Structure 1
């Protein structure tokens, strides 16, 4: 009986949202964040493939900050969803297979004869996280591809392929290398030809030295915002966390993906986590908000954070980017979802999280 009531309430909640969205309540939330200096960023919300709400917040609290509608955010590991889509494009074209072995491309990696493309995509390879060395994120200065590969080899394995799931930046570094071998061109050119140009994205771009009009990362200290002194060198995270974009263009991407404009319906199904069985799929995760299911990816650099998620039932997507985080992105996006689905938020309980 309880399950029936819960399902009925969920259906009612979805129905209420499907009829209307309250921009005033969203404005109230973001205005509170801005007034109390609890974050700096932007959000874009799409319904049925069209933007129905957008908001920039907190920027006016940073003296001298200039930006325009084309200013991009570093989106961190949201990049991985794009990398995964490109891998699945090759799979659709029978140029690569989920059961293809890593040894075909990188025989020097431990367990390369056992690790499959599927393992790399879903973080079940047993490989580690090359961005962390001696317990610290080290990739703030440019290093060589050889040094990164040597570190991946040195880190070895923590479990056998398929034994469990453990998030692996190393796996996506190798997937990027596989893409470049297959396409015979660098990652940024692959993204441009396969994603940016077909979708006519003006403000989504892989990292290139000298890139312009990107929000710098900020941190809050002594009651004011200041530029974060250290950020990742994005040449160290190509295909792993290097892409910058506006929330609008990220929404165009995820809507095109779920409307089957990039991958076939059956291919997209292979990417998705299996409800009730998996939290991670092959390039995307499940985000559950009290029974309301979204699919997508989050991303973090040392100073910028992103969430890009899509709900099938409502044909609804939310893209959130911040370059000044005081509330963890997971809780920030939950607040946004709660407002959209007409749940009450106690503003007095919203505060900085350590």
Structure 2
């Protein structure tokens, strides 16, 4: 029997050694199959991945790469000027709007939700900071349990009614759970405090100062807009009102780069506020979240980023490396594209740093 256990132990240790060796050999990609300049390597990588969408990369305040791949819609080629429903990338805009109002002392992140929604359950224990960082415990109305109908037209107040009477998932401030409901509430608070419709506020205080002349909330008829796809087929219809301040902005890769540059130049909020937004305020492994941004370590560099996706067939990812002054924008109108993995590998190529398998996911 002892001999059996000894043999088994040797077998397990051997598997461990072989697994570790395999990880060292194959778990890191230095993109050695790519050649030429960095833009040429980026193009080769995206072509090899059969990527569908638009990519824009800015480094040190200059455009490094921009190109569209595949079709946005019938007879419409994907490009960096193509209109996209950017989904949850909109949350960064909503968070900036809240922080602008905070800088004007029209509200504070420590304000209780009860100040704006006195009849909302547990509103006295939930702060705006909790809503910004997804640490409120308010359930997400897009959770499959609620069978939310994406296809119909929604009013924001009707959206929050979906979960009004549900129990909190945890005590506010004690954990992290992504909640689109929280950002719908933030949009309504922006309206209360500013006296403007959410869309008007974002246009006046973010789009215009950033020079984002091709960003909007309703796509004009005949505009070159991307249609969502799932495995090559048109995705299910989703009405843009179903997300409100949690995800209803329509923009382009080029305009998102302008938003990024406006933030870097402190045109929208102060440097101090930008740092506050990029500081971790809530976490639950493997996630860390600030105000409107995931806070991350990307290939050893301090970064913020955000995903965006719609079941209608959109999947996006944006990352902003703070110390490298690098922004990588990946928009895709094909649900099966892993935009985060694409984004991480593009970052690896630009920095000329190898990437481990797990770094594609974190």
Question: TM-score when scaled to structure 1?
Answer: 0.82
**SS class of match (2:329):** strand
Distance in 2 between residues matched to 1:279 and 1:316, nearest whole Å: 20
Larger displacement relative to structure 2 (152-161 or 62-71): 62-71
Distance in 1 between residues matched to 2:245 and 2:148, nearest whole Å: 17
1:235 aligns with 2:241: yes
**SS class of match (2:337):** coil
1:308 aligns with 2:318: yes
Distance in 1 between residues matched to 2:229 and 2:238, nearest whole Å: 13
Larger displacement relative to structure 2 (134-143 or 251-260): 134-143
User: Residue 131 of structure 2 contacts residue 183 of structure 2 at CA under 8 Å; is this kept in 1?
Assistant: yes
1:32 aligns with 2:48: yes
Match of 2:274 among 265, 268, 276: 268
Q: How is 1:99-178 mapped onto 2 (pairs within 5 angstroms)?
A: 99-134=110-145, 136-178=147-189
Q: Please name the residue that 1:16 is paired with.
A: none
After TM superposition, give the deviation of residue 106 of structure 1 in Å.
0.8
1:279 aligns with 2:288: yes
Q: Please name the residue that 2:298 is paired with.
A: 289
Q: 1:106 to 1:275 in 2, by over 3 A?
A: closer
After TM superposition, give the deviation of residue 275 of structure 1 in Å.
10
1:246 aligns with 2:252: yes
Distance in 1 between residues matched to 2:174 and 2:355, nearest whole Å: 40
Q: 1:17-36 deviations in whole A, cap 9, x for unaligned?
A: xxx961111111112123xx
After TM superposition, give the deviation of residue 248 of structure 1 in Å.
1.4
Q: Please name the residue that 2:214 is paired with.
A: 203
User: Residue 135 of structure 2 contacts residue 176 of structure 2 at CA under 8 Å; is this kept in 1?
Assistant: yes
CA RMSD of aligned residues (A): 2.6
Point out where structure 1 has 5 or more consecutive residues left out of the alignment: 1-19, 350-354
Q: 1:145 to 1:285 in 2, by over 3 A?
A: closer
After TM superposition, give the deviation of residue 108 of structure 1 in Å.
1.8
User: Residue 103 of structure 1 contacts residue 112 of structure 1 at CA under 8 Å; is this kept in 2?
Assistant: yes
Q: Please name the residue that 2:334 is paired with.
A: 324
**SS class of match (1:181):** helix
Point out where structure 2 has 5 or more consecutive residues left out of the alignment: 1-35, 358-362
After TM superposition, give the deviation of residue 301 of structure 1 in Å.
1.0
User: Residue 44 of structure 1 contacts residue 54 of structure 1 at CA under 8 Å; is this kept in 2?
Assistant: yes
Larger displacement relative to structure 2 (321-330 or 310-319): 321-330
**SS class of match (1:152):** coil
Distance in 2 between residues matched to 1:239 and 1:314, nearest whole Å: 30
After TM superposition, give the deviation of residue 296 of structure 1 in Å.
2.2
Larger Rg: 2
After TM superposition, give the deviation of residue 181 of structure 1 in Å.
0.9
